[in-house]
Amino acid sequence: MKTELEQAITASVKELFGLDVSVELTRPEEQFGDYATNVALQLSKQAGKNPREVAEGLAVRIRDSLAEKVASVSVAGPGFLNLTLTESALLAAAKADLPKPLTGQKWVLEYSDPNPFKPLHAGHLYTTLVGDTISRLVERAGAETIRINYGGDVGLHVGRSMWGIVNNLGGELPEKLANIPEAERPSWMGARYVEGTTADEDGRTTHDEVIAMNKRVYQVHADNDHESPFAQIYWTCRQWSYDYFPELYKQLKVKQFDRYIPESEITPPGIQAVTEQLAKGVYEESDGAVVFKGEPYGLHTRVFINGHGLPTYEAKEVGLILTKWRDYQFDRSIIITANEIEQYMAVVYKSIEQFEPELVNRSAHLVHGLVKLQGGIKMSSRKGNIITALDILQAARDAGAETGTNPSEETILAAVKYAFAKNRIGGDIAYDPKESVALEGNSGPYLQYAHARARSILAKAGEQAGAELTGLEPDERSLLRKVTEYTEVVERATNELMPHHICTYLYELAQKFNQFYEHNRVIGSGEREAPRLTLVRHYADTLRNGLELLGIAAPERM
């Protein structure tokens, strides 16, 4: 509806003034109408008339040409045009399906990215939920989505974990791993990582041992060693992690990943590409390392291959990006990570731009902030005092239990997902266990409850379907107007890859309904009952659709 009106008004401007502008409609306060545009203010200079004059001229034109859709047009303030839709146009907008502008496109989305051998901390939970929601958005818009999960199965943290594991087993004794119950594997490995890290940071002797472990892990990969006791431990524990991740995602009710790419897999192509481009002058040698000089582009210089000939994160990232490009030839590639990586990712992309510019054109790096505790303490898995993803869920359960409402697991997930999703992506989010899971106010549970209330009305009324919604009363129209905004909100959230717009909207929608519901009966309202049931159904369907886009369940009752 919005787009149609915009095009029609753009055409009117062209006819009346001979000027090319792209008219954009906004949603004004309800008292002013359903749509508004400030195009007259923009045009007044070019048209050589005062803005109100321009607006009046356009108003006449719109009344004439859009009479079926627009019930009234008024000029307000300095020259705003306010449009009010006809009842039939409003109803048509409420019934309209969401458009699928990304149909035919292939999007590769990388997010979550937990490391094997390490526990998932609160930040992983955040990045996982953000990525899941964004991937749902683009999938809903018609794109083919490929969800990629990248993780470090080699590197210092693995050296530390292996030290902790070997130490705990009392030697390189892979057979003893069988003693660890399956259910305890993730927490057992998490504990070994903490031991390795703590020991590493405490003593020089241990540090040398950890470094040696790290090198042996690389050697396991180089030799494709699956036989030695050390290698058996490594592969077994790595697999434990890869078994655990899908289980966790299932528990979180997020979409499963299409592919896990371990660091070890993309390291060789990364080294190869950097070496090739070194010969072509994209990268250069400096102090024995291979670097990309970022300064000409306003960036930093970063090391891609270090003085020992080992690839750094940057070279690996080159390998990862090229692998995705080679395997998928995507239309868009999105990487979602915490913002501490932002600046060196810019260097990585700038370097790739020198030899694969089209790939870079199609790529974007989305960053979010950190999950912080009260008091601004950064969460880290490097120290012992980690807050894991599961701790967050447990905190939500505990807080939920305190409310005395016995929230279901579905509602706990809704609370956590919504608390993370409602903020604009980019800044840090503060995590207060009590507040973030509060089952009232602008929260996931509020929306679930609002939905369940509406469904309960429909259930009580039985399945009397589809009465026409005509003769709208003011409160009814107000609610229906809000429902029609949904399409535009989803469109905006998708264009900007900003799911929080949907949260803001759904909360406003639910409030609108609760207000309606407070003042108007549905069942037993005589001749309004049938049309009001249709209105409630529109509302409930919209709310459910929005919640599901956010990965939040919309139960019929709770």
Partner RNA sequence: GCUCCCGUAGCUCAGUGGAUUAGAGUGUCUGGCUUCGAACCAGAAGGUCGUAGGUUCAAAUCCUGCCGGGAGUACCA
Site for RNA in 413-452 (CB under 7 A): 422-424, 426-430, 432, 435, 438-443, 445-446, 449, 452
Nearer to RNA by C-beta: 112 or 411? 411
- Closest approach of RNA to the CB of residue 513, in Å: 8
Nearer to RNA by C-beta: 3 or 525? 525
Kindly tell me which residue out of 2, 5, 42, 335 binds RNA, with binding defined by CB under 7 A: 42
Nearer to RNA by C-beta: 164 or 174? 164
The 8 Å CB, 24+ separation contacts for 328-332 are: 328/106, 328/108, 328/146, 329/106, 330/106, 330/107, 330/108, 330/146, 330/362, 331/105, 331/106, 331/107, 331/143, 331/362, 332/105, 332/106, 332/107, 332/108, 332/138, 332/143, 332/362, 332/363, 332/364
| C-alpha distance from residue 510 to each of 109, 441, 491 (Å) | 31, 11, 20
Nearer to RNA by C-beta: 169 or 530? 530
- Closest approach of RNA to the CB of residue 375, in Å: 9
Does residue 542 touch RNA according to CB under 7 A?
no
- Closest approach of RNA to the CB of residue 445, in Å: 4
Q: Is the dihedral of CA 116, 122, 125, 126 positive or negative?
A: negative
Does residue 38 touch RNA according to CB under 7 A?
yes
Kindly tell me which residue out of 82, 145, 161, 494 binds RNA, with binding defined by CB under 7 A: 82
How many chain residues bind RNA (CB under 7 A)? 91
Kindly tell me which residue out of 80, 163, 325, 539 binds RNA, with binding defined by CB under 7 A: 80
The 8 Å CB, 24+ separation contacts for 462-465 are: 464/530, 464/533
Q: Which stretch binds RNA (CB under 7 A): 55-63, 198-206, 241-249, 520-528?
A: 520-528
CB contact burial 97-117 (16+ within 10 A = b; e otherwise): eeeeebeeebbbbbbbbbbbb
| Six-digit token string for 40 | 């007259």
Kindly tell me which residue out of 88, 301, 329, 470 binds RNA, with binding defined by CB under 7 A: 301
**Sequential DSSP letters for 414-453:** HHHHHHHHTSPBTB-EEE-HHHHT-SSSSSHHHHHHHHHH
Does residue 522 touch RNA according to CB under 7 A?
yes
Answer left, alpha or beta for residue 406, where phi above 0 means left and psi between -120 and 50 means alpha: left
- Closest approach of RNA to the CB of residue 484, in Å: 17
Q: Is 147 helix (H, G, I), strand (E, B) or coil?
A: strand
Identify residues 483-512 at the interface with RNA (CB under 7 A).
Answer: 498, 500-501, 504, 507, 510-511
Nearer to RNA by C-beta: 122 or 169? 122
Measured distance CA(366)–CA(424) in Å, rounded? 12
Q: Which stretch binds RNA (CB under 7 A): 127-135, 151-159, 184-192, 390-398?
A: 151-159
- Closest approach of RNA to the CB of residue 13, in Å: 14
Kindly tell me which residue out of 57, 152, 159, 186 binds RNA, with binding defined by CB under 7 A: 152
Task: Report which residue type is found at 312.
Answer: T
Helices (H), 48-184: 51-65, 87-95, 122-140, 156-169
Identify residues 216-255 at the interface with RNA (CB under 7 A).
Answer: none
Q: Is 501 helix (H, G, I), strand (E, B) or coil?
A: helix
Q: Which stretch binds RNA (CB under 7 A): 28-36, 176-184, 241-249, 538-546?
A: 28-36
- Closest approach of RNA to the CB of residue 206, in Å: 17
Helix (H) / strand (E) element for 404: namely none
What is the CA angle 355-361-364, rounded to 5? 115
Nearer to RNA by C-beta: 84 or 236? 84
Identify residues 281-300 at the interface with RNA (CB under 7 A).
Answer: 286-289, 291, 298-300
Does residue 260 touch RNA according to CB under 7 A?
no
Phi, psi of 463 (to 5 degrees): -95, 55
Phi, psi of 293 (to 5 degrees): -80, 110
- Closest approach of RNA to the CB of residue 262, in Å: 11
Nearer to RNA by C-beta: 169 or 490? 490
- Closest approach of RNA to the CB of residue 226, in Å: 24
Kindly tell me which residue out of 8, 10, 28, 206 binds RNA, with binding defined by CB under 7 A: 28
- Closest approach of RNA to the CB of residue 99, in Å: 21
| Six-digit token string for 412 | 């706990």
Measured distance CA(92)–CA(95) in Å, rounded? 5
Kindly tell me which residue out of 333, 388, 411, 487 binds RNA, with binding defined by CB under 7 A: 411
Nearer to RNA by C-beta: 144 or 529? 529
Kindly tell me which residue out of 84, 86, 405, 478 binds RNA, with binding defined by CB under 7 A: 405
- Closest approach of RNA to the CB of residue 515, in Å: 4
- Closest approach of RNA to the CB of residue 171, in Å: 27
Q: Which stretch binds RNA (CB under 7 A): 14-22, 303-311, 324-332, 479-487?
A: 303-311
Q: Is 218 helix (H, G, I), strand (E, B) or coil?
A: helix
DSSP label of 341: G
CB contact burial 220-248 (16+ within 10 A = b; e otherwise): bbeeeeeeeebbbbbeebbebbeebbeeb
Helix (H) / strand (E) element for 68: namely none
- Closest approach of RNA to the CB of residue 146, in Å: 21
Nearer to RNA by C-beta: 343 or 361? 343
What is the CA angle 506-483-519, rounded to 5? 85
- Closest approach of RNA to the CB of residue 141, in Å: 19
- Closest approach of RNA to the CB of residue 174, in Å: 26
| C-alpha distance from residue 405 to each of 408, 412, 445, 457 (Å) | 9, 11, 11, 21
Nearer to RNA by C-beta: 190 or 444? 444
Q: Is 528 helix (H, G, I), strand (E, B) or coil?
A: helix
Identify residues 327-386 at the interface with RNA (CB under 7 A).
Answer: 339-344, 376, 378
